[in-house]
Amino acid sequence: MLNSESVDFCLETLESHHNRAAFSCGNEQLDRYLHDLATQDKKRNIAIPYVLVDREREKIMGYYTLSMSSINLESLPQSLGKKLPKYPLVGVTLIGRLAVDLDCRGSGWGKLLIMDALYRSLRVSQTTGCFAVVVEAVDDKAVRFYQRFDFQTFPDQPYKLFRTMKNLAQTFSLP
């Protein structure tokens, strides 16, 4: 079992020297994305993939992607939506994908990835209008994972979750 105390790791943007082919999280779509599409998305500035790398083994232990997106104001819970200007769309940061290699599961790497993604998203929101972070969970297990980090489901979309920047600022003690 790998943990942060026994592994020399780094979290960085995906580059051509990273061994993407060896990554396997058990979800074909998430594996295929990293193997075949992540580099193209980065080059086209569609999404930025971040990889968690075991430096000694030169192995990608996990990854996530960040991009900008928007949501319909009406999709938010009414208690939240009524506090916002009546714009049709609200800017958000999208965590498009998040996955941990099967060999690295159960050691807290998923928590490290999500916290890094949330912190980076919060920092971006300080220079770019952004109301929340949004994720689309692949299954019930993923929904429960995100809920552990204070994500709330959208009222009519049980696999789509969000966390406001205001909430994140409190978590990270930023103004």
Contact 98, 138 (CB under 8 A): no
- Residue 89 sits at the vertex; the CA angle it makes with 84 and 94, to the nearest 5 degrees, is 100
| DSSP single-letter state for residue 53 | E
Give me the pLDDT at residue 5, please.
Answer: 59
| DSSP single-letter state for residue 130 | -
Give me the pLDDT at residue 1, please.
Answer: 47
Q: How far is CA 33 from CA 23, 105, 146, 164, in A?
A: 11, 19, 21, 27
Give me the pLDDT at residue 4, please.
Answer: 55
pLDDT in tens, the chain (175 residues): 455 557 899 999 999 999 999 999 999 999 999 999 999 999 999 999 999 999 999 999 999 999 999 999 999 998 888 888 889 999 999 999 999 999 999 999 999 999 999 999 999 999 998 999 999 999 999 999 999 999 999 999 999 999 999 999 999 987 6
Q: How far is CA 13 from CA 49, 50, 53, 171, in A?
A: 6, 4, 10, 24
Q: How many residues comprise the chain? A: 175
Q: Catalogue all structural domains in the chain, each as residue range(s) with its CATH number.
A: 9-171 (3.40.630.30)
